[in-house]
Amino acid sequence: MVRPEPKTKIENVVASVVLNQRLDLDEIAATMPNVEFDPEQFPGLVYRLKKPKTATLIFNSGKMVCTGAKSEKEAKRAVHKIVKNIKEAGIEITGKPEIIVQNIVASASLGAELNLELAAMKLENTLYEPEQFPGLIYRMRDPKVVILLFGSGKLVITGAKFEPQIDEAALKVMDRLLELGVMRIPEGEDWGQIEHDDADDDW
């Protein structure tokens, strides 16, 4: 059997936005629905959209942070929709928003259990303290992401700036874990992995 590809799913895209102009948050709060603004608690205004389902923090400096999108495209769509809605409410926005993706968080499944203790010994750039946190933290250099590995074979990938980095990181970590012999391949399946004499003894 050919080994399965890791299944990945983007959970959250965080994008920063610069408008290059100041905004009157009191005016936006007074004229826009679906916003929360309590300057005594927090200096930013929270603008929620149902479609795409996102929450965007807006500051009077003209900076914004959009969270909750499931893709880069969705994050951009949310920002453009908010800017359009603010303009339609009669608030002047002169420039185009500059949108930069800061972080993409994704979940992934490798389809096989992992021996985290063995992975912590064999894999470079890791932190594993099971008393504090059940997952192993692995800092990958290329692409530059942080991967949380769990014994179930589930992963959380964070720190990506571009969507293709998610699949690249999942494939690379799977290759590395197979190479190190720390994955428990489901019985009766042959993923073409490298044989490790000592791998079975460590489970």
72-127 pLDDT, tens digit each:
999 999 999 999 999 999 999 988 999 999 999 999 999 999 999 999 999 999 99
In the predicted model, is pLDDT for residue 201 greater than 70?
Answer: no
Are 160 and 147 in contact by the 8 Å Cβ rule? The answer is no
For 159-199, the pLDDT digits (tens) are 999 999 999 999 999 999 999 999 987 766 666 644 444 44
Going from the C-alpha of 79 to that of each of 25, 91, 101, 130, the distances in angstroms are 16, 16, 12, 40
Q: Which two tokens stand for residue 179?
A: 């190479």
Give the type of residue at 51: K
Mean confidence (pLDDT) of the chain? 91
pLDDT > 70: percent of the chain:
91
Residue matched to tokens 């399965």? 4
Average pLDDT over residues 56-74: 97
* pLDDT-based confidence at residue 132 (cuts at 50, 70, 90): very high
- At residue 3, the pLDDT reads 72
Domains contained in the chain, CATH given: 15-100 (3.30.310.10), 110-185 (3.30.310.10)
Are 75 and 17 in contact by the 8 Å Cβ rule? The answer is no
Are 86 and 28 in contact by the 8 Å Cβ rule? The answer is yes
> C-alpha 185: how far from its chain's center?
27
pTM for the full predicted model: 0.88
In the predicted model, is pLDDT for residue 2 greater than 70?
Answer: no
- At residue 185, the pLDDT reads 78
The SS3 assignment for 115 reads coil
For 9-37, the pLDDT digits (tens) are 999 999 999 998 999 999 999 998 889 99
DSSP state of 135: S
Residue 189, phi then psi, degrees to nearest 5? -110, 145
Are 13 and 72 in contact by the 8 Å Cβ rule? The answer is yes
The SS3 assignment for 145 reads strand
In the predicted model, is pLDDT for residue 200 greater than 70?
Answer: no
Burial 74-94 (b: 16+ CB within 10 A, else e): bbbbbbebbbebbeeeeeebe
